[in-house]
Chain A
Amino acid sequence: MTILINNTSKTPVYQQIAVQIRQSMLKGELSEGEALPSVRSLSSDLGVSVITIKKAYDLLEDQGLVVTQAGRGTFVLEKNLDLVRDFKLKEIQDILAKAIDTAKSSGIKQDDVQEIFSLLWEENHAGN
């Protein structure tokens, strides 16, 4: 997981951290039940106060993405799966929208596109 913070940005650092961790989760880089880095190690690594890291983790907890167990750490919540799915669906939607755009602007018909879609889906399956 890569986290980059910008100290000069208007966005508070804790928010930047929370957002990036969230994106990591939605991209599937962090799996359910996986532990986030310890507050202290992340604090050392980013050069940021433990208070700030804790606040970022608290924010993620408020958003229902993680749960903190005293003495054990902070873990990615299972409910997360749905959000990942939603996120991916959105991604797919965007990609398809682009494809449709390209088709329409070049005068290609829906049937042709759907044929390509089915072929590719089969190929992909076979490849797997």
Chain B
Amino acid sequence: MLEINQIEKSYPKFHLGPVDLTLPEGYIMGLVGENGAGKSTLIYTIMNLLPPKSGEVSIFGMNYKENEVLIKEHIGFIYEQSSFYENLTPSSMARLLRLSYKNWDDATYRRLMEQFSIAEKPLKKLSKGQRATYHFIAALSHNARLLILDEPTSGLDPIVRRELLDELRRYVEPGNRSVLFSTHITSDLEQVADLITFIHKGQVLFSKDVEELRESYHVVKGAKEAIDTLPLLGKQSKRTHVQGLYEGERGDLADAQVELEPASLEDIMFFMKRGDEHEQIS
């Protein structure tokens, strides 16, 4: 569905890529990384809002040069909560969106508007959460085959977030739609993601499915002597123990005098960052 080949983008102080990414039909991929890692840049490139220095983006087997309108017809996009006309009300904005998208799905739009009780006020007068929810609803309401969401849940309270993520999983259930979801809220991804791509300083450190991830990364805890001998991706020393991230199979460390736990996404991000900083210092 979405294929990214060797995308690179250069800025004076930042370089993205080369990035390779594949998102098959029917899956939700989380794009995770700390602020400034390059998630938004990558997303803008995928949306053709930024031209890449090199590389290609292929969506539904097509490219932007030849099929820009057709592609965008089938993409639902959320980036920045303020991208709609602020002085218009949700209904006004919906009329405009209806004109823009051939496959507008009014039934879904109405259902979600009611479910989330969005007030009929000018968008700039809605709360941050309601605005974000509205953007989400709009993205889900035109039968888009690919949803590209850049931090769609920031500013939302946990309950609304959970409901929207549920909607997201419902959205891909038919099997012919996909979602690319960029965020630094790892718990969101743990709720819905099938695939995770981790970006750090403009590089993709890994792109794996959630089961592979669970099998590959473990948090290791033990006494300093035990931990120091192990090849870890990152470490943190506490008063009573040392902990770190191990990449490999659980069985590898069966003999070591350590405690093993499955690593959460946050753990992975945390330790990898530490490992990175440590390398830079030494």
CB contacts (< 8 Å) of B210 on chain A: these are 49, 51-52
Question: Interface readout for B174-211 with A: 1 if CB under 8 Å, 0 if not?
Answer: 11000000000000000111110000000000000111
* A residues 3-49 touching B (CB-CB < 8 Å): 12, 14, 40-41, 43-44, 47, 49
List residues of B (136-172) whose CB comes within 8 Å of A's CBs. Answer: 166, 169-170, 172
CB distance from A68 to the nearest CB of B (A): 15
**Cα(A14)–Cα(B211), bound, Å:** 9
Measured between C-beta atoms, what is the minimum distance from B17 to chain A in Å? 26
Q: What is the distance, in angstroms, from B28's C-beta to the closest C-beta of chain A?
A: 8
Interfacial chain B residues near A12, Cβ < 8 Å? 214
> By the criterion CB–CB under 8 Å, are A55 and B211 in contact?
yes
Residue A50 lies at the interface, judged by CB distance under 8 Å to chain B: yes
Which partner residue on chain A sits nearest B174 by CB separation? A40
Q: Which residues of B contact A52 (CB under 8 A)?
A: 210-211
- In angstroms, Cα B172 to Cα A41, docked, is 10
If A43-B169, A44-B169, A44-B170 touch, does A51 touch B175 (CB 8 Å cutoff)?
Answer: no
Judge whether B38 is part of the interface by a CB distance below 8 angstroms.
no
Give the number of A-B contacts (CB < 8 Å): 34
Q: Is the CB of B194 within 8 A of A49?
A: yes
Closest A residue by C-beta to B208: A51
Residues of A47-87 contacting chain B, CB below 8 A:
47, 49-52, 55
> B residues within 8 A CB of A47?
166, 169, 191
Neighbour of A50 across the interface among B26, B166, B170, CB < 8 A: B26
- Is B134 an interface residue when CB atoms closer than 8 A count as contact? no
Q: Are B169 and A51 in contact (CB under 8 A)?
A: no
Q: Is the CB of A40 within 8 A of B26?
A: yes
A52–B213 alpha-carbon span in the complex (Å) = 11
Interface residues of B (CB under 8 A from A): 26-28, 166, 169-170, 172-175, 191-195, 209-211, 214
Residues A51 and B211 in contact, CB atoms below 8 Å apart: yes
Other CB < 8 Å A-B pairs besides A49-B209, A49-B210, A51-B209, 6 of them?
A14-B211, A40-B172, A47-B166, A49-B28, A50-B27, A51-B194
| Given A47-B191, A49-B193, A50-B27, CB of A40 within 8 Å of CB of B173 | yes
Partner of A44, one of B27, B173, B209, B211: B173
Question: Shortest 7 CB-CB distances between A and B: which pairs?
Answer: A51-B209, A49-B194, A40-B173, A49-B210, A51-B194, A51-B211, A55-B211
| Shortest distance from the beta carbon of B188 to any chain A beta carbon, whole Å | 13
Q: Nearest residue in B to A14 (C-beta to C-beta)?
A: B211
Which of A12, A41, A49, A52 has the largest count of B CB atoms less than 10 A from its CB?
A49
Contact with B173, one of A14, A41, A49, A55 (Cβ below 8 angstroms) = A41
**Chain A: CB-nearest residue to B175:** A40
Q: How far is the CB of B159 from chain A (nearest CB, A)?
A: 15
**Docked complex Cα distance between A81 and B191 (Å):** 37
Provide the bound-state CA to CA distance between A2 and B172, in Å.
Answer: 23
> How far is it, in angstroms, between the C-alpha of A79 and the C-alpha of B53 when the chains are bound?
58
**Complex Cα–Cα for A52 and B210 (A):** 8
Bound-state CA distance A47–B190 (Å) is: 10
**Cβ of A10 to closest chain B Cβ, rounded Å:** 9
